């Protein structure tokens, strides 16, 4: 793999980091989808964060082999993924609290003793 890195840098063309764009896309989509019961945004945020961290670790391992713009995409993807992860978790917590409160309200209104004794 190092031979490929040297060949690419000798031509003057630096490739993009692997998964940097995917991390950015997943981070943006996780922010948009965090309102879908929180689960979708939370999962996409985790995946985007993992991909962004891998891309940044790859850049640190081979600093001159990849383009600077792809590093910026990986950083932006990581930040968007963290935001989507937090918003998705908050949305999920709000929905769980809402379901618990509504469940207790409905449970308090129904007479369970009459329902269980046909």
Domain-embedded: residue 105: no
Domain-embedded: residue 3: no
Over the stretch 22-63, which tens digit does the pLDDT of each residue have? 999 999 999 999 888 888 999 999 999 999 999 999 999 998
Domain-embedded: residue 99: no
Report how far apart the first and last C-alpha atoms of the chain are (Å, whole number).
Answer: 74
Range of the domain at 81: 18-92
Domain-embedded: residue 6: no
In total, how many domains does the chain have?
1
Best-predicted range by mean pLDDT (78-82, 100-104, 113-117): 78-82
Backbone dihedral region for residue 90 (phi beyond 0: left; psi -120 to 50: alpha; all else: beta) = alpha
Domain-embedded: residue 114: no
Domain-embedded: residue 61: yes
- What does the buried/exposed string (b/e) look like for 73-108 if buried means 16 or more CB atoms within 10 Å of the residue's CB? bbbbbbbbbbbbbbbbbebbeeeeeeeeeeeeeeee
Domain-embedded: residue 7: no
Domain-embedded: residue 4: no
């Amino acid at each position: 793999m190092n031979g490929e890195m040297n060949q690419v840098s000798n031509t003057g063309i630096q490739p993009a980091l692997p998964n940097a764009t995917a991390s950015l896309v997943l981070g943006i989509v996780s922010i948009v989808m965090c309102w879908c019961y929180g689960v979708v945004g939370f999962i996409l945020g985790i995946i985007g964060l993992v991909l962004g961290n891998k891309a940044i670790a790859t850049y640190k391992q081979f600093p001159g082999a990849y383009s600077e713009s792809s590093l910026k995409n990986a950083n932006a993807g990581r930040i968007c993924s963290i935001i989507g992860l937090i918003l998705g978790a908050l949305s999920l917590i709000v929905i769980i609290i809402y379901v618990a409160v509504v469940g207790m309200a409905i449970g308090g209104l129904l007479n369970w003793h009459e329902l269980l004794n046909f």
